[in-house]
A and B are shown apart, each in its own frame.
Chain A
Amino acid sequence: MKIRTRQRIAQTTSFWIFRLATYTILAAATYIFLDIGIKGSRTLFTAHAPFINVPFLTQRPQTLFVFDYQGTKYTLSDSEFRVWKAQHPEEVEATSVAYSAGGVWPCIVGTALLVIGSMIFALAVGICSAIYLSEYSQNSRFIRLIRIAILNLAGVPSIVFGLFGFGLFVIFLHWNVSLLAGWFTLGLMILPAIITASEESLRAVPNGLREGSLALGATKWQTIRKNVLPYALPGILTSSILGISRVAGETAPIMFTAAYALRDEMPWQVQHWTDFVFQGVMALPYHIYVVSSKIPQNEYTERMQYGAACILLLLVFVIALTSIVLREKARRRLSW
């Protein structure tokens, strides 16, 4: 009887430990999403029509000027302040708060450009090497070495990728801080994840489909193109879109290679089209980093910090949702 009681206590205790451990992650997730969601939506949404803070989404970041004038407190952005000064000739004592007015439009554009370019690079290289590894390579010592390299690359911290990109692309190749350097740095960073996931999706395609196709007189490439790759695509898609979320959110790899803290021109305002890839851009994660740690904090900075974080979260959320929808669609169409 006594042993049984002890066992029951052990049962209950272990059950609760496991349960609490699981609840911890729930609590953390809830706190993060609520905190950023609530504070961020104060910036993102407005109380009156159209209910979305359009200037925040369409303007570039500006300096905020705060001052008292004839007993009224004004908070004006850089451009508004200039207009105001033109109308009011008297001197006012204004406090300026960097980045805290305007919006994040250039950051959204920059992040989108970085994501598109690096994903094109990573998918092209990643799918090709996954096909090679899964369909063509034989199990040799060299291939095992490659696999170890991929595994190790996946574990390299992103700041190291940033430094690598800085050393190779920015300095050695003289690309300076540019989209091109950012694309390659980010692309190389998610390459291992894409190769691994694509290879797994390719291996999940039943061997019978390969043999069946080859037995009909199809070449190896025809077999891969028509009877293997299409069925592996849903998996490749999932992995790649998870890769997008990572690329969109990483700060370290782009802070030395592609991101500017502030840039007045939009990416398409270049003199010659070749300059396009050699320009730095603003990017959301780097902007969040700058506004939350590089400027003096006060009551006016929170708006921008939480707004930018919330936008980034929403962006990643939408991308992940798209991936799930696309994958389910593809799965329903191609299942074995």
Chain B
Amino acid sequence: MVIMEKETEHPAPPFEPQKVAEPEPQEKAMITVSDVDFSYGAHQVLFDVNLEIPPRAVTAFIGPSGCGKTTLLRCFNRMNDLIDGAHVSAGRIELEGHDINAPDIDVVELRRRVGMVFQKSNPFPKSIYDNVAYGLRVLGATKKSRINEAVEKSLRAAALWGEVKDRLDSSAYGLSGGQQQRLCIARALAVEPEVILMDEPCSALDPIATAKVEELIYQLRENFTIVIVTHNMQQAGRCSNYTAFFYLGRLIEFGATSKIFSNPSERQTEDYITGRFG
């Protein structure tokens, strides 16, 4: 009681206590999710989620279907805006300290900074070159040499250059499933985002293509913050640094992947990972 009264009397305390002793992570979080509730109309799918996604690392979201992990992922670039009635009903999501749902945020700029790779690979019905150049062109790039450079750089970064460099002008639909998905990654890389969201990027791929994409994800984390939703436990184990386990719209556990997989602190996490349910 006394403490509360004090706080109302002094809304802005004159000094901040020094935070030296606090176990802060080395770097500031790239994406901070605080107390987020999310609903589709009246149907609430996320409950009080708190999460800090560290920069230049791979964070995996795991959990059974319908647990809200894709929904949370799509909150990060406000893709849920496209769905009627979908909204963050409480809490904040911050990208480098800026509330991404604030009214003055330019959602187009947000999506440039936070790229996305979809579950079903969705190359545009254009040539391979035009697919990668698309993002640059909508951002206003017109100089041919600059676009050429960026296309090559992105395709190299997506480990696709060697396979397609001789047929950049042929249709993206002529590529195999795995190549198409890597093309979508290259396309996302071309606009130089800071964060890349991946929504089950390997769910439609065979093991060999999956291995290639995973290897790519592993390399990309040096320069990008990657958040990946996956149903594949081994995949989360193989290519992520941090893992978040969701169940029924709640974040059950979040921590280093090695810890979650070897020594989870929650019973539900252990049950899910060992395959006892889900």
- Name A residues whose Cβ lies closer than 8 Å to a Cβ of B: 138-139, 206, 208-219, 222, 226-227, 231, 334-336
Contact = CB atoms under 8 A, between A and B. Distances in A.
Contacts of B111: 214-217
A218 B124 CA distance: 14
B122 A208 contact: yes
B125 interface: yes
A208 B82 CA distance: 12
A136 B76 CA distance: 22
Given A208-B120, A336-B125, A336-B173, A215 B138 contact: no
A216 B188 contact: yes
B108 interface: yes
A213 B187 CA distance: 10
Nearest to A217: B112
Given A216-B188, A222-B138, A226-B134, A211 B125 contact: no
Given A138-B84, A139-B84, A336-B173, A218 B122 contact: no
Q: Is the interface of A mostly helix, strand, loop or mixed?
A: helix
Given A222-B138, A335-B125, A215 B120 contact: no
Nearest to B136: A216
A139 B79 CA distance: 18
B134 A206 contact: no
8 contacts: A209-B122, A210-B82, A212-B124, A212-B187, A213-B124, A214-B79, A217-B111, A219-B108
Given A138-B84, A227-B124, A217 B138 contact: yes
Given A206-B122, A336-B173, A218 B108 contact: yes
- Residue of B118, B122, B139 with most partner-chain A CB within 10 A: B122
Interface string B139-177: 100000000000000000000000000000000010000
A143 to B, nearest CB: 11
B191 interface: yes
Query: Which of A139, A210, A212, A336 has the most chain B CB within a 10 Å cutoff?
Result: A212
Interface string B93-127: 00000000000000011011001101010111100
A209 B138 contact: no
B82 A215 contact: no
A139 B115 CA distance: 28
A226 B138 contact: yes
Interface in B69-96: 77, 79, 82, 84
Given A214-B82, A215-B115, 8 more contacts: A209-B122, A215-B116, A216-B134, A216-B191, A217-B112, A217-B135, A218-B138, A226-B138
Contacts of B118: 208, 211-212, 215
A218 to B, nearest CB: 4
Contact of B135 (A206, A209, A211, A216): A216
B138 A219 contact: yes
B141 to A, nearest CB: 12
Given A216-B138, A226-B138, A209 B124 contact: yes
Contact of B187 (A139, A206, A216, A335): A216
B79 A211 contact: yes
A215 B124 contact: no
A214 B118 CA distance: 12
Contacts of B125: 209, 231, 334-336
Contacts of B134: 213, 216, 218, 226-227
A305 to B, nearest CB: 49
